[in-house]
Every structure is written in C-alpha cells, then in structure tokens.
Amino acid sequence: MRALGVLAMAALLAGCAEARRPAVPEPAAELSDGRVVTPLSAILDLAVADATAPETARDNRPVEAAHAAARLEWLSGETRAGYRLANLPSSHRFALQRAVDESRAALAISPDATPEQVVQALLAASRALQANDAAAVQQAMTSPVFLRVRPDALARLRQPGPRPGAALALPALREELERQQGFAGRGLGGPVGAEPVGVLNWMGLAGPPL
C-alpha cells in the first residue's frame, strides 16, 4: 500500500509540474501557410520545400525569402528546453544551427538576435513588402536585427542565394521526425498520423502537442 501511495504521489507531482510549465507560443500563421492545427509538420514541410527549391526560385521574391528564413529560425528555436523539438538528437541540432548561421550571414542578420526577434523582424518586413508600403518597409528594415552592411538586408532578401546547409539539414530533420513518428506508431504515441494527445505527441518526442 505504501508503494502505491508513493507512486500516486509521484504521478501527482509530475502532473503538477506539467501544469505549471508555460505554454509554448504558437507560430505566426504565415509560417505554416495557415495550417494551424499541426504547425510543426506544416512549417517543416514548407521549410524543406524552401530549402530544396532551385537556387534562383526566390530571386526578386523577398517575401518568400523572408518566410523561408523565418521558418528556419522558428525551427531552431523549437529545439530549446520545453519546446516541440527539445529532444532532437544533437547531430540534427548541430546541422540546424549551422543552417541558421548560414542564413543569418547571407541575409545580414545579427548573430546575437534570438529566434523570436529574427522571426518578428522578417515577418514585419514581409508584411510591409506584401502591402507595397515603402514607409513600412523602411521602418521594418531599421530593426536592430538587421546589420548595417552593404549590400543591405533588403537587397539580400531580393537575391538570397543558395542555402546548402538548409538543403541538407531540413530534409534530414524531417526524416528523423518521420522515423520517430513510426516508432510512436508501434505503441508509444498512438497510430502513425494520429493527432497528438498530451505529452507523447505524434513524433514520440516529449513536449507539448504540435
């Protein structure tokens, strides 16, 4: 009986800790192209498409280039403790961080900015560009996230160039998550493709629902 009481208390404490954990912020709708039910899988699919598109696919398309960079930043932020990709293997974390570093260097983005700051700045710029609002574009590009260099960040968004790091890291990341999804489907996280329930989500990773 005492052992059962200890187990019950442990389960209660674990539940309390889970309840106290801050909710993971939901991503902006632009990142998932409006697919808000399963944002991680939607954003990852779009990020893979971004990274594996022909090198010139985003030339003179700064809105698309900004969204591609923002998706990469968002994914990197999700590897932090308590976020959706907190248990990602270290090799994938390293590859994803290298892709982020590559993107920031190419787009004149501060290496010291947080993923949230970069996503916010890129989305502000993309929204201003979509609205064809020159004043708003100018204001968005004055964010301290963007370095004062030549060519400037806006010019670099118009000609973003290749992203070999992302082209390697993102498909590999998706394969890893699909592998873990299959593992979850064999008994740990429900059937493959099922919606996440509680802490064990469709990838079998500890963390909040996707």
For 42-101, the DSSP string reads: HHHHHHHHHHHS-TTTTTT-HHHHHHHHHHHHHHHHTTSTTSTTTT--HHHHHHHHHHHH
Report how many domains make up the chain: 1
Asked if the structure places residue 173 within a domain, the reply is yes
Residue-averaged pLDDT of the chain: 82
Read off the tokens for 107. Answer: 């787009």
Q: How far is the C-alpha of 190 from the C-alpha of 62, rounded, in Å?
A: 40
Domain carrying residue 121:
25-188
Q: Enter the pTM of the model.
A: 0.78
- Give the residue from 91, 92, 117 showing the smallest Cα distance to 104: 117
pLDDT recorded at residue 24: 78
Q: Is the pLDDT of residue 14 over 80?
A: no
Of 12-21, 66-75, 126-135, 143-152, which gets the smallest average pLDDT?
A: 12-21
Residue 56 has what pLDDT?
84
Question: Is the pLDDT assigned to residue 64 strictly greater than 60?
Answer: yes
Q: Is 60 exceeded by the pLDDT of residue 79?
A: yes
Any domain includes 163? yes
Q: How confident is the model at residue 188 (pLDDT cuts 50, 70, 90)?
A: very low
In a domain, 106, yes or no: yes
- The answer to whether residue 9 is domain-embedded is no
Please check whether residue 44 is in contact with residue 177, taking contact to mean a CB–CB distance below 8 angstroms.
yes
| 100 lies in some domain | yes
Where residue 207 falls (left for φ over 0; alpha for ψ -120 to 50; beta otherwise) is left
Of residues 171 and 183, more confidence is placed in: 171
pLDDT at 200: 31
